[in-house]
């Protein structure tokens, strides 16, 4: 597939202020102003006097755009996501992160709460709408496809929705099935569910479920069902905040690609018992070839001759099944080569990051939240560790470091393929912040984090 864009190692960083909530109507607002430069913006803040906080703070000229509290989701979409559609239609992956403290508007920005009104559609649903429109046009042009999945080459969208809870991934399209996040011998990250032993002895390990959708209505229905599975907890700042990172993927697929990927899973399930049998035969033959002397030493067993023919037969069978797997993997590659349009495999990835929690609430005496359980405090510590790891990965990618610390956390391991797997992609972070003085420390922390990321991204663009 052809890629017109150069590899993007930088991030664009945006700021979105939310309105004051009804229960904040009597609280003071943070003083703020925006300075515009050639293509970036800086933010200046002023606060009420506080023992643990400066009176003023100013960012660098780091932010691509600053959306004020009155901006609708549609405006944010047009400014942040819509310009990347051509990249996805060229087969690239574009990632969008919402980062901020709990209650700052992350979920509203990514998903939206009033999906009956176009202006309030979250960024993800707006992206899926535009993606389907583009694919419908291609399906009609390419051999008269209907766009309804009736042809192996008809293009549709596969949707995946899963969470990172602690060190596990949880598949929201598979009854909250817990999946392990591991690095394989190939250096790639693999997300796999529990091992299933089938009746014929095959061993199958399913990846994250991908629901193929032919229409926007079908996708919305699947997404609503998955979102109902999300868990919430009593965050120290916002009692409806999710305490997990949610990852939503929209991938351009066709039936041929999905069938080829299913065939790979089938070949893998066939190889596992055959490979195990070859190992068992090898161990049995060599184990029986030696005996232990009374002195505790091992010597050859004169009564046993290694049956090399048995070993060779088991290895030959293993080699045959390995070849089958290689052919199945090659068929996946061929799907991309034979597709008439380069959009196959293109992805939108939206990440609703869990809120960064503030356990030492003495840093901001005005922040008062419900008491957390010990489990929630532990979850909060893991969330903060994930967010730190993400920041380091973003900086390393932006600065083109040879070693990028993806293995620092399960979150960054999962995101590895999205950062590195596509040329021509683009990533952006939306910093969601509150204008309330009661959340001043949280807002300042979010903007400082974003400023570091934005500065690193600017270096990466040079």
Strands 426-433 and 11-17 come out as parallel
104 is in an annotated binding site: yes
Cα gap 301→207, rounded to integer Å: 46
236 and 105 inside one domain: yes
Residue 31: the pLDDT is: 92
CB 67 within 8 A of CB 435: no
405 and 321 inside one domain: no
Per the structure, the count of domains in the chain is: 2
102 is in an annotated binding site: yes
Domain span at residue 308?
267-329
301 and 445 inside one domain: no
64 and 147 inside one domain: yes
Query: Is 335 domain-assigned?
Result: no
Q: For every one of its 462 residues, what pLDDT tens digit does the chain have, with 9 covering 90 and above? A: 433 333 334 679 999 999 998 888 788 899 999 999 988 999 999 988 876 778 889 998 889 999 999 999 999 999 999 999 999 999 999 999 998 888 888 888 998 876 666 777 899 999 999 999 999 999 988 765 555 555 778 999 999 999 998 889 999 999 889 999 988 777 788 888 887 777 776 777 788 999 999 999 999 999 988 988 775 554 555 443 467 889 999 999 999 999 999 999 999 888 988 999 999 999 988 888 888 888 888 888 888 888 999 999 999 999 999 999 999 999 999 999 998 889 999 999 999 888 765 433 334 444 445 567 787 778 778 888 888 888 888 878 877 788 889 999 999 999 998 888 656 888 999 999 999 998 888 899 889 888 887 876 666 554
Query: Is 142 domain-assigned?
Result: yes
Residue 117: the pLDDT is: 62
Query: Is 334 domain-assigned?
Result: no
Residue 361: the pLDDT is: 38
Query: Is 337 domain-assigned?
Result: no
Query: Is 3 domain-assigned?
Result: no
- Look at residues 27, 115, 23, 85 and name the one whose alpha carbon lies nearest to residue 440: 27
DSSP assignment of 210-268 equals -EEESSHHHHHHHHHHHHTT--B---SS-TT-BSSEEEEEEEEEEHHHHHHHHHHHHHH
153 and 276 inside one domain: no
Residue 71: the pLDDT is: 94
- Three-state secondary structure call for residue 165: strand
CB 109 within 8 A of CB 233: no
Q: Which are the contacts of 131, defined by CB distance < 8 A and separation ≥ 6?
A: 85, 88, 157, 250, 252, 348
218 and 292 inside one domain: no
Query: Is 1 domain-assigned?
Result: no
51 and 184 inside one domain: yes
133 and 47 inside one domain: yes
107 is in an annotated binding site: yes
160 and 291 inside one domain: no
421 is in an annotated binding site: no
Residue 362: the pLDDT is: 37
- Look at residues 297, 366, 365 and name the one whose alpha carbon lies nearest to residue 24: 366
222 and 301 inside one domain: no
Tell me, what CATH number does 104's domain have?
Answer: 3.40.850.10
Query: Is 2 domain-assigned?
Result: no
Query: Is 260 domain-assigned?
Result: no
421 and 315 inside one domain: no
232 and 181 inside one domain: yes
255 is in an annotated binding site: no
309 is in an annotated binding site: no
């Amino acid at each position: 597939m052809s890629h017109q864009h150069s590899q993007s190692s930088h991030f664009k960083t945006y700021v979105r202020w939310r309105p004051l909530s009804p229960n904040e109507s009597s609280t003071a607002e943070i003083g703020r102003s925006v300075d515009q430069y050639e293509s970036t913006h800086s933010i200046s803040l002023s606060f009420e006097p506080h023992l643990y906080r400066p009176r003023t703070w100013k960012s660098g000229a780091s932010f691509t755009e600053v959306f004020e509290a009155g901006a609708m989701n549609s405006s944010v979409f047009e400014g942040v996501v819509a310009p990347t559609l051509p990249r996805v239609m060229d087969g690239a992956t574009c990632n969008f992160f919402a980062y901020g403290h709990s209650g700052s508007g992350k979920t509203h920005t990514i998903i939206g709460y009033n999906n009956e009104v176009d202006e309030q559609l979250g960024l993800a649903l707006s992206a899926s709408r535009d993606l389907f429109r583009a694919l419908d046009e291609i399906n009609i042009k390419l051999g008269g496809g209907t766009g309804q999945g009736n042809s192996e080459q008809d293009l549709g969208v596969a949707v995946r929705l899963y969470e990172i809870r602690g060190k596990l991934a949880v598949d929201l399209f598979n009854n909250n099935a817990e999946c392990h996040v591991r690095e394989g011998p190939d250096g790639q990250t693999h997300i796999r569910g529990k091992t299933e032993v089938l009746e014929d002895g095959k061993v199958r390990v399913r990846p994250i479920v991908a629901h193929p959708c032919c229409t926007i209505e079908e996708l919305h229905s699947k997404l609503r069902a998955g979102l109902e599975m999300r868990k919430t907890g009593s965050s120290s700042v916002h009692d409806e905040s999710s305490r997990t990172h949610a990852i939503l993927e929209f991938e351009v697929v066709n039936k041929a690609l999905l069938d080829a990927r299913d065939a790979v899973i089938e070949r893998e399930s066939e190889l596992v018992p055959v490979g195990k049998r070859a190992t068992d035969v090898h161990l049995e033959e060599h184990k029986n070839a030696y005996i232990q002397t009374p002195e505790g030493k091992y010597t050859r067993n004169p009564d046993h001759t290694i049956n090399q023919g048995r070993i060779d037969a088991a290895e030959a069978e293993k080699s045959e099944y390995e070849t089958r797997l290689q052919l199945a993997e090659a068929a996946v590659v061929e799907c991309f080569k034979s597709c008439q349009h380069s959009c196959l495999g293109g992805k939108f990835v939206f990440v609703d990051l869990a809120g960064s929690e503030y356990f030492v609430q003495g840093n901001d005496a005005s922040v008062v939240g419900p008491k957390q359980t010990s489990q929630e405090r532990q979850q909060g510590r893991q969330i903060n560790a994930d967010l730190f790891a993400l920041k380091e990965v973003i900086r390393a990618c932006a600065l083109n470091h040879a070693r990028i610390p993806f293995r620092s956390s399960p979150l960054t391991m999962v995101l590895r393929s999205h950062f590195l797997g596509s040329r021509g992609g683009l990533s952006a972070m939306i910093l969601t912040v509150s204008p309330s003085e009661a959340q001043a420390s949280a807002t300042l922390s979010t903007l400082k984090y974003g400023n570091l990321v934005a500065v690193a991204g600017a270096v990466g663009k040079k």
